[in-house]
Structure 1
């Protein structure tokens, strides 16, 4: 598990959740693929289309199924005012085989804040940064008001410090019961998403990013033809415009009526409201299996971004 920079106003060291795929977890995911009804029922009950809410629901389901979840969206109040909300309290380490309370209480307690983000690297911004800001300021959301630096500052300075406050500790101890007092409550960031790199310039990865993080490219609308030309391939390829619910994982499809050729892609990205960023995936035909598989994706951004 990686480490994020320490907050110097406190003595807490933050963990970065980088959970690996163990054989047990892989087996559980395969079983979920074959019997997804419980997860589908959970997701169908959501009253929001926001990706962040969807992402939190996936993590809540996972932690419940692994018998790790202690509390979710735990509101912390003090003197009649709300200090904040803890996304997750959970026990580290899966305990699917023996989910008894006795075995649960032996595992360390984690305070986790969860977020899914999609940031684009802006080289011109990076060049102007001072070294003490890492390079987070150079990673900007499709909505230019959102930056990795702002998100990390909010997460490290506000969200993950909440469980260190006395009112939060008292409420957590009340949940745990008299048999247990918090000793080493570990703050952890669950950060997922994708970083998009400029297709025509080199740019270093964000500081502390997982070396295996999901990647993509980005281009301006007026660079789209140049970007398409740069992706020549001997294999048969087409493009797929991704809906928001498809932003998380790589996509596959057997329905080639959804696919666009180069000219259709250009018309799609330039039609209507030019202020709308769009994510598209380059799909490669897999003739032996009669389906199309994603090989890369790209954010097509309005020409005025991030201005």
Structure 2
């Protein structure tokens, strides 16, 4: 999906859309809104751009990379990547090694004491102005499991992972109380990177709300965060028919940037058969027992299928299970 430009959105890409999926994912990682507001004093937000000049320089760099993306592809292919977080780490690491802004000092720095691993620092970074930064990266997709009228202010605990093994309040507490303080511990001198590091969190992703619900956002959230929807399998046919006629299930490594592809008009038999109508999509995912992320597509004037929205189809019993997990 193209990044649009408006006068009050300085991080948007101002030219034609990026076409390479990996470059588009990297651009999304750098330019999309944060999921969280700053959680001071410990949870300051990371900013990839330390000076006003670094943003336009990065945009130029992204377009140059989009024209010749093969070096990035080779780097990603060097090891098998199956986890979304690991994919995001590799993309951000590439930017810090090759981009025109902050410089990578070290990545994945383990902290040990008496033979016990206490944790691992995601990135140690030095800005062009000389600031020494410790970045903790998280890319999360959470579904809102509470009832829209449950709370006047909203609860971060109501945002749960699709497989009910992760919760936003617990993740934030782990970031603030364990991961970000790692570089300030006395043991950190043993890593070879002694000195003062400023901890910052780099938290991106999407939050999904039951279709028709408009719950109050918790105070911790950035109001501009990426939003999607979720629907039960029972509600899916009526919901889907009202929203789009081209759908595709999104594998986990396609959960970052909105997707886009070129329509194969000259060879319709070669068109991607994964773009289907709502009933065919339901049949495709019928043997999957958990929530499935899907996206709705529409064709633009240039012949591209552009993602218009994304969400999860969840089992009919999932909402009750999710509410119980949110209240634990």
Tell me the TM-score normalized by structure 2: 0.76
Matches within 5 A, 1:124-163: 124=147, 127=150, 135-163=155-183
**Separation in 1, partners of 2:67, 2:230:** 35
2:310 matched to 1:297? yes
Larger Rg: 1
2:80 matched to 1:60? no
Matches within 5 A, 1:199-278: 199-231=211-243, 237-253=245-261, 254=263, 255=271, 257-269=273-285, 271-273=286-288, 275-278=289-292
**Separation in 2, partners of 1:258, 1:122:** 29
Conservation of the 8 A alpha-carbon contact between 1:126 and 1:135: no
**Separation in 1, partners of 2:149, 2:83:** 29
Within the candidate set 201, 207, 217, 1:189 is matched to 201
2:79 matched to 1:34? no
SS in 1 for 2:273: helix
Q: Given the superposition, is the C-alpha separation of residues 83 and 126 from structure 1 closer, same or farther in structure 2, using an over 3 Å criterion?
A: farther
User: What residue number does 1:122 align with?
Assistant: 145
Q: Given the superposition, is the C-alpha separation of residues 148 and 289 from structure 1 closer, same or farther in structure 2, using an over 3 Å criterion?
A: same
What displacement does 1:190 show?
A: 0.9
**Separation in 2, partners of 1:36, 1:126:** 47
What displacement does 1:89 show?
A: 0.5
**Separation in 1, partners of 2:42, 2:83:** 30
Q: Given the superposition, is the C-alpha separation of residues 80 and 267 from structure 1 closer, same or farther in structure 2, using an over 3 Å criterion?
A: closer
Conservation of the 8 A alpha-carbon contact between 2:107 and 2:124: yes
Consecutive unaligned residues in structure 2, runs of 5 or more: 1-33, 264-270, 322-328
2:123 matched to 1:88? yes
**Separation in 2, partners of 1:198, 1:92:** 40
What displacement does 1:204 show?
A: 2.6
User: What residue number does 1:101 align with?
Assistant: none
What displacement does 1:30 show?
A: 0.5
Within the candidate set 276, 279, 283, 2:293 is matched to 279
What displacement does 1:125 show?
A: 8.8
What displacement does 1:293 show?
A: 0.9
Q: Given the superposition, is the C-alpha separation of residues 150 and 107 from structure 1 closer, same or farther in structure 2, using an over 3 Å criterion?
A: same
Conservation of the 8 A alpha-carbon contact between 1:125 and 1:137: no
What displacement does 1:3 show?
A: 5.2
Compute the RMSD of aligned alpha carbons: 2.4
What displacement does 1:300 show?
A: 0.5
Cα shift readout 1:94-140 (whole Å, capped 9, x = no counterpart):
xxxxxxxxxxxx511111111111001122398269x7xx6210101
**Separation in 2, partners of 1:140, 1:120:** 5
SS in 2 for 1:152: helix
What displacement does 1:291 show?
A: 2.2
